[in-house]
Copies of this chain bind each other. A is one copy, B any other.
């Protein structure tokens, strides 16, 4: 659940919003010109019943920060407890002063629960308080019939009000609103308990309007005698409009929460987050602003993450309706590294979501007349929801990204149970898809035509470097896993093979296609073309493009963008990171130079990757610049669109920038290496990473780096070029070498483990 930080008194400084991960409305997509196989249904995460409202009147004055006098004000998001707290001292227009303290948590442990505490004290004088605490059922107009935005990143809006009120109930202390979605007839119930505590005289009565339920309290408050209200709110939803069950569940959950009481709930939340921060926290000494943004980002990533195997991470988390709440490759390429190396049980849940939607991916492949499985470019329920296939379905690379992330998870955790029971099935079905999608072209090898890479400023091309390398990685891995399973875990293998009708011949075919996979390369210039046609295009005229013309997608027709060498995010650079072992340091630097110059940065996904590769090739200043953009993107609203929601992938990318970028960590085929580079502005960078059962602390200063095994048994890592065996309670200190040499050696080592096929590089 996500609740935007709007004020309880509901003067709209912040647009209110409450979102339940996985709860959406669907309707047919209307196409101006339809074609076979276009995604059929939109999915739109809904802004549900607003639970935040607690309104106050002091005598006859409504409490509102825009009237009266603010004597004191403090608002804090405590990242240790996840508690949003506000303290206000306010004098009403008629001169009464009150002190008001509100707290709010959205529980991580109880995924259905939010808690609001509210306390008000009349300062030095008596006052009549009227307090109204309720649920506001009317979804704001933003998710209603308003005109659709022209900004493709915002996404269209549903026609008509998506939620229809089905039931409204108000009791003495509790209230409930139950809605169903207009088209899909899913139901959502929101219930609250209001618990008012005061030593003052108090009368109360329930109220309801067409769309709201609330409790109204009238309190004659003696001077300095506080009035406290605890409001417990729960949400349950079901895909069945008639489900009675969820109302019972809501009631029970409310009772359980009230039995605990607010302080215990906050304490249990802190307990959960203590564990999270123990694994995930990154410290940059003496930079409080930066430190704040790191923790703010990681907290939001956690908040955005579906952790039950049936939900995932929306591009905007649960903070806004941007991108309609859809899940993209952002999860696998940007968020999973963070979880894999800090909190792997969450990584596993996110991968399970993909496994659970494998039937839809198979169905989609069938619809497009392919074998295997094709994951959707954007989705909530596992079905393709992209209404613009050139930058949607054509981004086949999402299939590769999912498998790549799974491979990293399995290699970093050793979780063979997951691999054998779920992962292998996805892996093999995806490998099948690639074999069916690609084709052998004379003089080139196995080619993948008509795809769009991550750089959405180029579409429908042949042999996108990023895609081809990722597919090659997929296919080699699929063949290896299949063979190892067959010999080492024959029962597990037989179960999968039988389920999907896998033949031995297919496994050979995967390996052959991988070995013959075509990798575009221009030996004359030492450059990897983004795709077959990229170098034949003209350069974008950056000089004459005024700053207000960015992002280009809002000012130029796709055809005008696609015809140039210009990047929304340079996917060749992303390939340099994810498939880094294949490239020499020389190549990395040379290709980074070329593509960095073509980068508009119009995608929020680009800056963290650019930062990491810049750090690797020794451009520490450039890396720092990109990193700062990554770190402060949402807190400083650098892109000017945080009103539509945070940039979840960038926030997770912030972790990558530090650990993979300045920390220089790489995981090539399961070997963890570090090649750290501390920016001169910082005194110290420290973080932990988890590999198998070990938790390793990495503590970097300008003197050198200290590796400490905090948990788990002996673990081998590589520092620059040296292999180190970490022993429990034996920190290892190393001075830091010059960049370049070390990374090269790490890559050479990786290549030795999975040899680069001879045909991997061709001239055009």
User: Hey, which bits of chain A sit against chain B, CB under 8 A?
Assistant: 29-39, 42, 148-152, 155-156, 367-370, 386-390, 392-394, 439, 441, 444, 447, 449-450, 459-460, 462, 532-533, 536-538, 553-560, 562-563
Please state if A460 and B460 are interface contacts (CB–CB under 8 Å): yes
Known: A33-B155, A532-B536. A563 touches B449 (CB 8 A): yes
Please state if B368 and A37 are interface contacts (CB–CB under 8 Å): no
Please state if A156 and B533 are interface contacts (CB–CB under 8 Å): no
Please state if A388 and B32 are interface contacts (CB–CB under 8 Å): yes
Question: How far apart are the CA atoms of A148 and B29 in the complex, in Å?
Answer: 11
Contacts of A155 in B (CB 8 A): 33
Q: How far is the CB of A278 from chain B (nearest CB, A)?
A: 41
Please state if B390 and A156 are interface contacts (CB–CB under 8 Å): no
Please state if B462 and A37 are interface contacts (CB–CB under 8 Å): no
Q: How far is the CB of A138 from chain B (nearest CB, A)?
A: 25
Question: How far apart are the CA atoms of A450 and B564 in the complex, in Å?
Answer: 9
Q: Which of A387, A450, A532, A555 has the most CB of B within 10 A?
A: A450
Q: How far is the CB of A415 from chain B (nearest CB, A)?
A: 34
Q: How far is the CB of A24 from chain B (nearest CB, A)?
A: 15
Q: How far is the CB of A44 from chain B (nearest CB, A)?
A: 11
Contacts of A29 in B (CB 8 A): 32
Known: A156-B32, A439-B538, A449-B536. A557 touches B37 (CB 8 A): yes
Known: A449-B563, A560-B368, A560-B369. A35 touches B533 (CB 8 A): no
Question: How far apart are the CA atoms of A32 and B326 in the complex, in Å?
Answer: 14
Please state if B35 and A557 are interface contacts (CB–CB under 8 Å): yes
Pick from B37, B42, B151: contact of A32, CB below 8 A. B42
Q: How far is the CB of A736 from chain B (nearest CB, A)?
A: 43
Question: How far apart are the CA atoms of A628 and B499 in the complex, in Å?
Answer: 52
Please state if B34 and A152 are interface contacts (CB–CB under 8 Å): yes
> Of all chain B residues, which has the CB nearest A437?
B563
Please state if B368 and A559 are interface contacts (CB–CB under 8 Å): yes
Q: How far is the CB of A468 from chain B (nearest CB, A)?
A: 13
Q: How far is the CB of A559 from chain B (nearest CB, A)?
A: 6
28 A-B pairs in the complex with CB atoms less than 8 angstroms apart = A31-B32, A31-B156, A32-B387, A33-B152, A34-B148, A34-B149, A35-B152, A35-B557, A36-B553, A36-B554, A36-B555, A36-B557, A37-B556, A37-B557, A37-B560, A38-B557, A368-B557, A369-B556, A389-B558, A390-B390, A394-B559, A441-B536, A441-B538, A449-B563, A450-B562, A460-B559, A462-B533, A532-B536
Contacts of A460 in B (CB 8 A): 390, 459-460, 559, 562
Q: Which of A34, A148, A394 has the most CB of B within 10 A?
A: A34
Q: How far is the CB of A760 from chain B (nearest CB, A)?
A: 19
Please state if B369 and A36 are interface contacts (CB–CB under 8 Å): no
Contacts of A444 in B (CB 8 A): 536
Pick from B149, B393, B536, B556: contact of A557, CB below 8 A. B393
Contacts of A459 in B (CB 8 A): 460
Question: How far apart are the CA atoms of A9 and B556 in the complex, in Å?
Answer: 54
Question: How far apart are the CA atoms of A78 and B547 in the complex, in Å?
Answer: 66
Contacts of A394 in B (CB 8 A): 559
Beyond the given pairs A36-B150, A369-B557, A449-B538, 19 more chain A to chain B contacts, judged by CB atoms under 8 angstroms and listed by A's residue number, are A30-B148, A30-B156, A31-B156, A32-B388, A33-B156, A33-B386, A33-B392, A35-B388, A37-B557, A37-B558, A38-B557, A389-B558, A393-B557, A393-B559, A439-B538, A449-B536, A449-B537, A462-B533, A532-B536
> Of all chain B residues, which has the CB nearest A30?
B30
Please state if B33 and A32 are interface contacts (CB–CB under 8 Å): no
Contacts of A560 in B (CB 8 A): 37, 368-370
Question: How far apart are the CA atoms of A369 and B392 in the complex, in Å?
Answer: 25
Contacts of A35 in B (CB 8 A): 152, 388, 553, 557-558
Q: How far is the CB of A387 from chain B (nearest CB, A)?
A: 2
Question: How far apart are the CA atoms of A656 and B29 in the complex, in Å?
Answer: 41
Q: Which of A368, A439, A536, A559 has the most CB of B within 10 A?
A: A559
Contacts of A32 in B (CB 8 A): 29-31, 39, 42, 156, 387-388
Contacts of A559 in B (CB 8 A): 37, 368, 389, 393-394, 450, 460
Pick from B148, B536, B555, B556: contact of A447, CB below 8 A. B536
Q: How far is the CB of A423 from chain B (nearest CB, A)?
A: 27
Q: How far is the CB of A248 from chain B (nearest CB, A)?
A: 38
Q: How far is the CB of A740 from chain B (nearest CB, A)?
A: 32
Q: How far is the CB of A675 from chain B (nearest CB, A)?
A: 38
